[in-house]
Amino acid sequence: MKKLFKKIKTEYNTVNPKQKSGALELLKYIGPGLLVTVGFIDPGNWASNFAAGSEFGYALLWVVTLSTVMLIILQHNVAHLGIVTGLCLSEAANKYLSNRSSRVILWSAIGASISTSLAEILGGAIALQMLFDIPIKIGAILVTVFVFIMMFSNSYRKIERYIIAFVSLIGLSFIYELFLVDIEWGEAARAWVVPSVPEGSMLIIMSVLGAVVMPHNLFLHSEVIQSRQWNLEDEEVMEKQLKYEFFDTFLSMLIGWAINSAMILLAASTFFKQGIVVDDLQQAHSLLEPLLGGNAVIIFAVALLFAGISSSMTSGIAAGSIFAGMYNEPYNIKDIHSRMGVLISLGVALLIIFMIGDPFKGLIISQAILSIQLPVTVFLQVKLTSSKEVMGKYANAVSTKLLLYGIASIVTLLNILLLLSFFIDIKL
């Protein structure tokens, strides 16, 4: 058994518990949270952020702050499930729920992953249309094929590094564009922490807040954090991972907060000052050119392409994890069940794109499906992490349980309201 543990430690590049703690050692734990951050800056968030900044200026920056705080708490909690049990959320559901209940929940999560993949692939296809005038459906094929190649030809650790690189490029793109505009930093700083609800802003608030916590991200975080098999080590090592995991989650979500804030700042400093309301990513692209010049437009489109590709990859990994969990297996792209999950998520999403005439309506429908499934995943997570049978002494304390159920209820309510607003819009 000792030899097996040493082999696992080598394969997943775990840190020697005897090493002295320090900044360099801490950096070795960064990674799982950044994969989750990709879902926090996907094309759907882009649309919401540009709508918020163009219509209400800096006023809704506080929504990004609040949503990030809620996200940190929920992702931190689901990461603990992976570290303590060595199971992802899908495996834990399959083990501790009845077979019928787990199948219903997990297949609904697969459906949510398909909806997420649809939005991410569409985002990448829209970017290709911006850059090269490629038709949306052809662009969707190109994005999907590229994502398949990336996922099926590289190990998880390589995928993680690629996604971290993509996130870095997205962040640098928005930093570049912020240098081109005049930001009123005093007003922005106040808006980050002082809530305000301008008339007619509730739909945008619900859109930003309600879509931040995505079902596939909860499955994804519990998968990538437990893939290192820290629970196989002694209790001292596990305690160390539990401590460092929060740093990874906090830092990663902070990066997501900064990028989402940058989108609102950019929209507020360009479109809002010009009295232009943006409700479509292609519209934002075309309107940026006369305001900021051609370079900014290209940077915008390239960043959107990176966001679409990287978030499609994380959605695929999540689907592979969910499907493999039904068979009590961890995610492994070389395994048939993991591959089936990836193929179902990305393949079905691509087929649906070919049946949708209006890409924007496709994004709306995909978000509506996420709104239906999200409460199921969030309450499943809280139930499992609050169970002593599952978590032992690491089960949620009463105060933590109340906080988590409170956040879950708020997120659920926002998503129900958002879902109703989508149906009203479609009907109109």
List, in order, residues 6 or more apart from 120 with CB less than 8 Å away. 42, 43, 307, 308, 311, 312, 315
d(CA 211, CA 22): 36
In this prediction, residue 59 carries a pLDDT of: 92
In this prediction, residue 384 carries a pLDDT of: 93
Q: Is residue 361 part of a domain?
A: yes
Q: Is residue 370 part of a domain?
A: yes
Q: Is residue 363 part of a domain?
A: yes
Q: What total number of domains does the chain contain?
A: 1
Q: Is residue 22 part of a domain?
A: no
pLDDT, greater one: 10 or 322: 322
Q: What is the CATH number of the domain that holds 58?
A: 1.20.1740.10
Q: Is residue 413 part of a domain?
A: yes
In this prediction, residue 420 carries a pLDDT of: 73
For the entire predicted model, the pTM comes to 0.79
- pLDDT tens for 292-325 read 666 777 887 888 888 888 888 888 888 999 999 9
Label residue 276 left, alpha or beta by phi (over 0 means left) and psi (-120 to 50 means alpha). Answer: beta
d(CA 198, CA 425): 20
pLDDT over 90 percentage in the chain: 18
Q: Is residue 241 part of a domain?
A: yes
Q: Is residue 88 part of a domain?
A: yes
Q: Is the pLDDT of residue 278 over 80?
A: no
pLDDT over 70 percentage in the chain: 76
Which residue range(s) make up the domain with 171? 38-427
Q: Is the pLDDT of residue 3 over 60?
A: no
- pLDDT tens for 358-369 read 666 666 666 667
Q: Is the pLDDT of residue 138 over 90?
A: yes
d(CA 202, CA 428): 18
Q: Is the pLDDT of residue 408 over 60?
A: yes
- pLDDT tens for 74-120 read 888 888 888 888 888 999 999 999 888 889 999 999 988 898 888 88
- pLDDT tens for 199-218 read 878 778 877 776 677 788 88
Supply the DSSP string of 208-261, one letter for each residue: HHHTTS-HHHHHHHHHHHHTT-GGGS-HHHHHHHHHHHHHHHHHHHHHHHHHHH
Q: Is residue 117 part of a domain?
A: yes
What the block records as the tokens of 217 is: 């991200």
Sign of the CA dihedral running 266, 271, 273, 274: positive
* Pair 386, 396: CB distance under 8 Å: yes
Give Dmax (Cα) for the chain.
67
